[in-house]
Structure formats: C-alpha cells, structure tokens
Amino acid sequence: MATLAYPAARWSLRVVMERHWRLVSLALFCTWFTEDGGYAIYWRFKDPAALAFMREGGDVPTSADQTSVHPQAQRQVKAAGYLDGAGPGLHDSGDAGAGSDL
C-alpha cells in the first residue's frame, strides 16, 4: 500500500493547497483507500469477524511468543512502579482520611 500512499498523499495535498474543490471528495477517497480502505476491503472478504474486532479497537499479538500487544509500554510502567501492589504512586486506603494534608 505504501507504493500507492505516497503518490496519493502528494496529489491529495496538491488538490487542497491549490484549491481544486471539485476534486476534494476524490482526494479524500484516495487517502482513505491507500491508508485504511484496502485493508478494510481485504478483511471484509477474508474474515468479517476480524474486521469487526479491529473496528472495536481490538488488537492481537503479532508473534506467538508475545503475550501482550503493548509489551514495551507495560515494561516501562512496571519499571516506574505503577503495577507494583506496594509500589510508590498507589493510594493506600489504610491511611485514607488521616488528616495529614489538612
């Protein structure tokens, strides 16, 4: 799709910058088709359930040994201590309302 995306983006930008308003709808269609439309059409015929899953914002791991779709972000969050039960940054309900901040 990248072979079509670059020329379509260049042409679409030219349509808008040079104010060829009659071609704006075609430029929008070309932009959609080269970015998402080709994939949507492919998955509609290949596996409509997968297309519905993707539209809902679902994501699947891309390799067999990957347990999450965002492993790097989870490692960074865990390193910052946000996923630790006793880590800093979590609110402990045991001292809630102690009045130290009043």
Q: Tell me the per-residue pLDDT of 24-49, one tens digit each, with 9 for 90 and over.
A: 999 999 999 998 888 888 888 998 88
Please state whether the predicted TM-score (pTM) of the whole model is above 0.75.
Answer: no
Kindly tell me if the per-residue pLDDT of 19 is higher than 60. yes
Q: Tell me the per-residue pLDDT of 65-91, one tens digit each, with 9 for 90 and over.
A: 555 555 555 555 555 555 555 555 555
| CA atoms of 8 and 31, how far apart (whole Å) | 6
Q: If 0-12 CB within 10 Å is exposed, 13-18 middle and 19+ buried, where does residue 30 land?
A: buried
pLDDT of residue 12: 93
Nearest partner of 28 among 71, 37, 93, judged by Cα:
37
Which residues are CB-neighbours of 89 under 8 A, at least 6 positions away? 80, 81, 82
Identify the band that residue 93 occupies on the pLDDT scale cut at 50, 70 and 90: low
| Per-domain boundaries in the chain | 2-60+68-80
